[in-house]
Amino acid sequence: MPGKIDKILEQVEQSRVWRSIFRSGRGTSTLHNALAIQQSVFLHLFSTKVRKRMLSFSSTWYLGTLTLGTFFILIVTGVLLMLYYHPSVPQAYADMKDLQFVVSSGLFLRNLHRWSAQAMVFLVFAHMFKVFYRGAYRAPREFNWVIGVVLLLITLLLSYTGYLLPWDQLAYWAITVGSNISAAVPLVGSKIHFLLLGGNQVDANALLRFYVLHCLILPLAALLFVAVHFWRIRKDGGLYVHQSEPKKAGAVDETELVKEVQ
């Protein structure tokens, strides 16, 4: 029976349709494995080869991957919440309450969205601390650190814009206080405040603007910078590995053995 399944799989993988989609073809050679990564639009951002030590838990604690995981959870739950939420003054609060008490699994999805948001902020900071204390921000990875700082700001702005959407007292006063901070910018502060809120006070325009920022502009910006962030890992020589052990005389340098296809 397993032999039969293997045979069917083999036939599928050799079919013209399969080959037209996955061009790397069958095989387990190094070349095939490399091509499988390089020829996928999603995976080609990554290195075709990595050292095993890079993938060990201790080297990264998988903090970046976990952050991406929470981001994907936030996209899926966020899109689902959008189906019941109207960003308007009379409806926003009631829709949020409906999600909690009326919509099937609404409470679960809303809580998942909220907890993932908290977890993402925590993981972003943990990821940055890990990178900082390992010294992985140093050359040639300085620019990827800068992109990481941009991603931190986008994460915080996503949290901040999402804060207003329940349209309760906490949200209203948090955004009143927060947007007043932007008014402290020299010379153009009050203009920035006016543009951010679309008015002089937190009202219908502000709710709509924060909704568009939260659901469209900031997530797209985050995806763009995440793509550059991952691509830079490959371009900057792969994940950082701490060179702690002194080289033995006559031993072959590990880094010489594995040259990545870049």
Partner 1 sequence: MAESKRLESTPASGEINRRAFFAKIGLGSLAIAAAGTAGFAYQYLSPNVLYEPSPIVNLGKPEDFALDSVTMDPNAAIYLVHIAEGFFALSAICTHLGCLTAWNQELGMIKCPCHGSEFTRTGVKIAGPAPKPLPWLKTWVSDEGELMVDRSTDIHPLQFLRI
Interacting residue ranges for partner 1, rule: CB under 8 A = 173, 176-177, 179-181, 194-195, 198-201, 203-205
- Determine the straight-line distance between the first and last CA of the chain, rounded to whole angstroms: 42
d(CA 42, CA 1): 34
Residue at 24: amino acid letter: S
Of residues 24 and 176, the one with the C-beta less far from partner 1:
176
Q: Provide the 10 A C-beta neighbour count for residue 149.
A: 11
Of residues 168 and 236, the one with the C-beta less far from partner 1:
168
Structure tokens at 213: 């920022």
d(CA 183, CA 79): 32
| Among 238, 228, 240, CA closest to 143 | 228
Of residues 53 and 191, the one with the C-beta less far from partner 1:
191
Structure tokens at 167: 């349209």
Of residues 188 and 223, the one with the C-beta less far from partner 1:
188
Taking the complex as a whole, the smallest distance from the CB of residue 243 to partner 1 amounts, in Å, to 46
Of residues 12 and 195, the one with the C-beta less far from partner 1:
195
Phi, psi of 224 (to 5 degrees): -60, -50
Taking the complex as a whole, the smallest distance from the CB of residue 135 to partner 1 amounts, in Å, to 38
Taking the complex as a whole, the smallest distance from the CB of residue 97 to partner 1 amounts, in Å, to 24
d(CA 149, CA 124): 10
Taking the complex as a whole, the smallest distance from the CB of residue 90 to partner 1 amounts, in Å, to 13
Taking the complex as a whole, the smallest distance from the CB of residue 176 to partner 1 amounts, in Å, to 5
DSSP labels, 56-73: SHHHHTTHHHHHHHHHHH
